């Protein structure tokens, strides 16, 4: 049965149900009325690259191998960025005629039978379109893969204008591709929702905020676009709309690498470190976003210092110490997930030893150029592992909470 | 679980699954490193005695080392070895240097047609083949259980996905299945496995005089590559570093810088 999937990156269940009830999202609300909506859990860690890789493969990070947007290369010790070609499991559309448009972590594009236009992070358009025959068309449409988020630093108005410009270009691509072939699977993702959430999520239900109206207006516009897609559905077609993780307002950021320095696990080779790769080889542990803790083991990293025997000991020490940390009489970390328990599969040993999940409102960041343990920058929203959503446009009695890695099973 | 154990388990599962589902099964063995690894996995799957024929498609143009290795290994392992050849084509003088014949025509006559003849003669329903997904773009589209129609054609747009080890292996009349137990292994995986299992491979793979063969087949059509890798360990290093080199060029650095800037604008790193 042909299936259309619409992704709304970073949209929480709480927001979608509230806005639907208030009448801000008429198209999504009528789809919920026809079918059903369930809350959904994301992957650990709750970052788009990992979550989307699980969505499209139905696999655990230990199986598909994407644990974040970046890693430390085991051979060179340098930063590296996992690509779509590094994913160890085939996407669920293999063997079908599929369009996969703007799915994060699918660069460089590669599809055997259909059309793929990669999503965030795609450094070039050339390698973001497969088959290459489509490249000229995509260029003609003046298609934009992502908003320029750095504009938010300059002016929120410019950032908002750019969000709309990207959304318009995305819909041009939709109109061009929707009926270009008889698709078995048509997968179309909106990522502007995640971007606006990062900068303005505190305004989502705060009517006194100057950005409340712009925030709601953008969601109204996205609903309009969703409505346009829904209007093209064929009677026999199944439809799902879903997000990849939840979101909540950000109160402050917790700089976990700084904490590792204070506790003596991490040292830098320079006085003003810019990146985690500036750490000195004697370091025992370090963190990569979001909240991934790696023991700097000798058998894992070229500059490793910890012997196999000490790895578990250090893991236990770090877990115990972080749970004792308090800020405003609460621990910033709500849960410490043990990599051995949450990752399974052939490449699970490449995953982090521990994952810190932040308390609601406290975003765990791996930034190294910081002075204190806590801080706040321009960001007003943060990801959550719970509270993603899944809407089925037909009654299916989905279990709740659903899990992002089970979406594939609904389609195959 | 060890990574190599995982790869091995997956392969043995596919081999046994195929054996349980099809009446007439055979293994295609070219004596190369991949199909020799597959041969070893079949030995393991059936506790040291392979209960089906092992077929070598002999074009008559293989390296002498390959024939010697074939006969010695077949004797040592007690294989039911069948050497298949297209005698008519050979009689008519088909070969890589035959005037007026292209290399493709030569391959077709001496390999494909020989295989068609033996599949029909033995009524083979499933054929184990040692191909890997990372070998070539087209092979990335392959499935573990891959149907072939009456004319041996593979229709890659008409295949089901194989998530969660769920394989389509229902036979249709007049067709046979190619079964690919080592599809998930990479070139480096194969060498690591060969090293761990201490398998014997033909000497041509190891560098002599600054050159070695990365893959072997018919002698007139194989070109050695420049290499100083004379041990398995050096071969693995060579493969992995050449991969790094591919990705470490200028273009990649530029892409990485862009990616880093994008991630930073969203608060990461």
pLDDT in tens, A107-133: 999 998 899 999 999 999 999 999 999
* pLDDT class of B167 with cuts at 50, 70, 90: low
Does some domain include residue B165? yes
Q: Give the rounded percent of residues in chain A with a pLDDT score beyond 70.
A: 100
Mean predicted confidence (pLDDT) in B51-80: 95
Bond into A298 cis (ω within 30): no
Q: What's the CATH fold of domain A252-375?
A: Gyrase A; domain 2 (3.30.1360)
| B107 and B59 within one domain | yes
pLDDT for A329 equals 85
- What value does the mean pLDDT of chain B take? 84
Residues A338, A267: Cα–Cα separation, whole Å: 23
Residues of B in contact with A92 (CB under 8 A): 161, 163
| B146 and B44 within one domain | yes
Task: Give the helix/strand (H/E) hosting B237.
Answer: helix B232-247
Mean predicted confidence (pLDDT) in B110-137: 87
Alpha helices in A123-155 (DSSP H): 135-140, 151-154
What tens digit of pLDDT does each residue of B92-107 get? 888 887 777 777 788 8
Residues A13, A405: Cα–Cα separation, whole Å: 17
B121 lies within 8 A of chain A by CB:
no
pLDDT for A14 equals 98
Task: Give the helix/strand (H/E) hosting A185.
Answer: strand A185-190
A367 and B269 within 8 Å at the Cβ level: the answer is yes
* pLDDT class of A11 with cuts at 50, 70, 90: very high
B140 lies within 8 A of chain A by CB:
yes
Residues of B in contact with A70 (CB under 8 A): 259-260, 263, 268-269
| B209 and B102 within one domain | no
A146 and B161 within 8 Å at the Cβ level: the answer is no
Question: Which residues on neighbouring strands pair with residue B158, listed in sequence order?
Answer: none
Helix A212-230 / helix A13-22 crossing angle, nearest 10 deg? 90
Residue A3 clears pLDDT 50, i.e. is over it: yes
* pLDDT class of B112 with cuts at 50, 70, 90: confident
The residue of chain A nearest to residue B256, with distances taken between CA atoms, is: A81
Tell me how far CA of residue B22 lies from CA of B16, B99, B149, in angstroms.
10, 42, 16
Shortest CA distance to B220 belongs to which of B112, B98, B92?
A: B98
pLDDT for B97 equals 78
Chain-centre distance for alpha carbon A311: 29
| B172 and B42 within one domain | yes
Last residue of a domain, one of B129, B151, B179: B179
Cβ under 8 Å to A: B residues 247-266:
254-256, 258-263, 265-266
Residues of A in contact with B143 (CB under 8 A): 95
- What value does the mean pLDDT of chain A take? 95
Distance from CA of B106 to the nearest CA of A (A): 29
Does some domain include residue B89? yes
Residue A224 clears pLDDT 90, i.e. is over it: yes
Distance from CA of B61 to the nearest CA of A (A): 35
| B123 and B208 within one domain | no
Shortest CA distance to B267 belongs to which of A313, A274, A382?
A: A382
pLDDT for B243 equals 56
Last residue of a domain, one of B127, B155, B179: B179
* pLDDT class of B157 with cuts at 50, 70, 90: low
Q: Which of B7, B163, B258 is nearest residue A412 as measured by Cβ atoms?
A: B163
A150 and B265 within 8 Å at the Cβ level: the answer is yes
Residues A290, A243: Cα–Cα separation, whole Å: 18
Last residue of a domain, one of B179, B203, B226: B179
| B216 and B154 within one domain | no
Burial of A231 from C-beta contacts in 10 A (0-12 / 13-18 / 19+): exposed
The residue of chain B nearest to residue A124, with distances taken between CA atoms, is: B255
| B172 and B60 within one domain | yes
Residue A80 clears pLDDT 70, i.e. is over it: yes
> Which of B1-5, B75-79, B204-208 has the weakest average pLDDT?
B1-5
A289 and B266 within 8 Å at the Cβ level: the answer is no
- Tell me which architecture the domain covering A3-250+382-411 has in CATH: 3-Layer(aba) Sandwich (3.40)
CB A282 within 8 A of CB A253: no
| B133 and B40 within one domain | yes
Residues A297, A312: Cα–Cα separation, whole Å: 11
Report residue A73 as tokens: 């290369």
CB A294 within 8 A of CB A311: no
pLDDT for B247 equals 43
Phi, psi of A317 (to 5 degrees): -60, -50
| B219 and B111 within one domain | no
| B152 and B233 within one domain | no
- CATH number of the domain to which B123 belongs: 3.40.50.620
Q: Which of B156, B163, B259 is nearest residue A408 as measured by Cβ atoms?
A: B163
pLDDT for B246 equals 46
Does some domain include residue B252? no
Per-residue burial over A374-404, b if 16 or more Cβ lie within 10 Å, else e, is beeeebbbbbbbbbbbbbbbeeeebeeebbb
**Residue located via tokens 């795609």:** A122
Domains of chain A by residue range: 3-250+382-411, 252-375
Residue B1 clears pLDDT 50, i.e. is over it: yes
Higher pLDDT pick, A260 / B256: A260
- Measured torsion, CA atoms of residues B156, B158, B162, B163, in degrees rounded to the nearest 10: 110
Q: Which of B140, B143, B258 is nearest residue A123 as measured by Cβ atoms?
A: B258
Does some domain include residue B263? no
Report residue A192 as tokens: 């502007």
Does some domain include residue B36? yes
pLDDT for B165 equals 55
Q: What is the DSSP letter of A10?
A: T
B151 lies within 8 A of chain A by CB:
no
Residues A123, A126: Cα–Cα separation, whole Å: 9
pLDDT for B203 equals 94
Chains A and B: how many Cβ contacts under 8 Å?
86
Does some domain include residue B196? yes
Bond into A121 cis (ω within 30): yes
A379 and B240 within 8 Å at the Cβ level: the answer is no
What count of other Cβ atoms lies within 10 Å of the Cβ of residue A11? 27
Residue A192 clears pLDDT 90, i.e. is over it: yes
Distance from CA of A192 to the nearest CA of B (A): 12
> Which of A168-182, A319-333, B192-206, B216-230 has the weakest average pLDDT?
B216-230
What tens digit of pLDDT does each residue of B214-259 get? 889 898 888 888 888 899 988 888 887 765 544 444 566 778 888 8
pLDDT for B249 equals 45
| B215 and B149 within one domain | no
pLDDT for B39 equals 97
B268 and A290 within 8 Å at the Cβ level: the answer is yes
Mean predicted confidence (pLDDT) in A353-374: 95
pLDDT for B248 equals 43
> Which of A27-41, A201-215, B113-127 has the weakest average pLDDT?
B113-127
The residue of chain A nearest to residue B142, with distances taken between CA atoms, is: A95
Q: Which of B161, B260, B262 is nearest residue A90 as measured by Cβ atoms?
A: B161
CB A36 within 8 A of CB A392: yes
One DSSP character per residue, A345-370 reads STTGGGS-SEEEEEPTTEEEE---S-
Does some domain include residue B268? no
Shortest CA distance to A111 belongs to which of A129, A123, A124, A125?
A: A129
Higher pLDDT pick, A80 / A355: A355
Q: Give the rounded percent of residues in chain A with a pLDDT score beyond 90.
A: 87
> Which of A223-232, A273-282, A299-308, B244-253 has the weakest average pLDDT?
B244-253
Domains of chain B: total:
2
Residue A265 clears pLDDT 80, i.e. is over it: yes
pLDDT for B170 equals 53
Residue A2 clears pLDDT 90, i.e. is over it: yes
**Residue located via tokens 């067709």:** B175
pLDDT for B202 equals 95
Q: Which of A89, A113, A377 is nearest residue B267 as measured by Cβ atoms?
A: A377
CB A369 within 8 A of CB A272: yes
* pLDDT class of A92 with cuts at 50, 70, 90: very high
Residues of A in contact with B160 (CB under 8 A): 95
Bond into A410 cis (ω within 30): no
Residues A403, A387: Cα–Cα separation, whole Å: 10
Q: Which domain holds residue B238?
A: 188-247
Mean predicted confidence (pLDDT) in A280-302: 94
Residues B263, B25: Cα–Cα separation, whole Å: 52
Report residue A276 as tokens: 């985690």
Tell me how far CA of residue A388 lies from CA of A166, A238, A400, in angstroms.
23, 20, 11
Does some domain include residue B269? no
Distance from CA of B269 to the nearest CA of A (A): 5
């Amino acid at each position: 049965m042909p299936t259309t999937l619409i992704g709304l990156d970073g949209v929480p269940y709480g927001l979608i149900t509230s806005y639907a009830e208030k009448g801000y999202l008429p198209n999504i609300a009528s789809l919920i009325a026809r079918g059903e909506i369930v809350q959904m859990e994301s992957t650990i860690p709750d970052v788009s690259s990992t979550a989307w890789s699980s969505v499209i493969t139905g696999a655990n990070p230990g199986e598909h191998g994407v644990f974040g947007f970046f890693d430390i290369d085991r051979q060179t010790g340098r930063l590296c960025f996992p690509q779509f070609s590094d994913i160890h499991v085939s996407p669920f559309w293999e063997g079908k005629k599929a369009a996969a448009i703007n799915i994060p972590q699918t660069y460089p594009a590669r599809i055997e039978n259909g059309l793929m236009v990669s999503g965030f992070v795609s450094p070039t358009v050339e390698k973001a379109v497969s088959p290459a025959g489509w490249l000229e068309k995509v260029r003609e449409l003046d298609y934009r893969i992502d908003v320029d988020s750095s504009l938010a630093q300059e002016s929120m108005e410019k950032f908002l204008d750019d969000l709309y410009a990207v959304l318009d270009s995305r819909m041009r691509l939709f109109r061009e591709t929707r009926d270009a072939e008889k698709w078995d699977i048509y997968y179309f993702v909106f990522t502007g929702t995640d971007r606006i959430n990062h900068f303005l999520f505190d305004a989502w239900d705060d009517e006194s905020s100057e950005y409340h109206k712009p925030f709601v207006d953008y969601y109204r516009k996205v609903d309009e676009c969703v409505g346009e897609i829904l209007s093209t559905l064929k009677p026999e077609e199944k439809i799902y709309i879903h997000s990849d993780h939840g979101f909540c307002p950000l109160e402050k950021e917790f700089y976990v690498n700084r904490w590792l320095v204070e506790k003596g696990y991490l040292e830098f080779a320079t006085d003003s470190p810019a990146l985690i790769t500036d750490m000195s080889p004697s370091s025992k542990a370090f963190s990569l976003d979001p909240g991934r803790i790696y023991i700097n083991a000798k058998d894992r990293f070229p500059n490793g210092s910890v012997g196999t025997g000490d790895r578990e000991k250090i893991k236990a020490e770090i877990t115990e110490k972080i749970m004792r940390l308090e800020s405003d009489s609460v621990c910033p970390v709500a849960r410490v997930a043990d990599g051995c328990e949450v990752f399974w599969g052939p490449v699970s040993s490449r995953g982090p030893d521990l994952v810190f999940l932040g308390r609601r409102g406290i975003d765990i960041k791996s930034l190294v150029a910081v002075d204190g343990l806590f801080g706040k920058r321009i960001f007003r929203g943060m990801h959550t592992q719970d509270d993603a959503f899944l809407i089925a446009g037909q009654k299916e009695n989905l279990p709740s909470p659903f899990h992002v890695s089970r979406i594939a099973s609904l389609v195959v | 679980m060890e990574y190599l154990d995982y790869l091995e388990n997956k392969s043995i599962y596919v081999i046994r699954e195929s054996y349980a589902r099809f009446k007439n099964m055979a293994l295609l063995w070219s004596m190369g490193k991949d199909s020799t690894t597959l041969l070893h996995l079949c030995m393991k799957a059936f506790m040291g005695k392979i209960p089906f024929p092992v077929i070598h498609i002999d074009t008559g143009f293989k390296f002498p080392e390959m024939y010697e290795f074939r006969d010695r290994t077949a004797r040592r392992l007690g294989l039911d070895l069948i050497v298949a050849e297209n005698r008519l084509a050979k009689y008519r003088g088909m070969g890589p240097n035959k005037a007026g014949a292209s290399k493709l025509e030569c391959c077709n006559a001496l390999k494909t047609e020989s295989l068609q003849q033996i599949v029909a003669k033995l009524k083979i329903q499933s054929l184990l083949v040692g191909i890997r997904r990372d070998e070539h773009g087209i092979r990335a589209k392959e499935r573990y259980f891959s149907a072939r129609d009456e004319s041996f054609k593979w229709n890659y747009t008409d295949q089901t996905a194989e998530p969660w080890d769920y394989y389509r292996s229902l036979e249709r009349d007049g067709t046979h299945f190619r079964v690919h137990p080592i599809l998930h292994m990479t070139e480096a995986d194969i060498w690591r496995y060969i090293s761990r299992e201490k398998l014997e491979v033909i000497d041509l793979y190891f560098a002599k005089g600054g050159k070695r063969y990365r893959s072997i087949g018919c002698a007139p059509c194989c070109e050695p590559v420049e290499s100083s890798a004379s041990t398995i360990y050096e071969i693995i290093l060579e493969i992995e570093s050449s991969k790094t080199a591919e990705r470490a060029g200028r273009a990649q650095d530029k892409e990485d810088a862009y990616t880093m800037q994008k991630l930073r604008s969203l608060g990461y790193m």
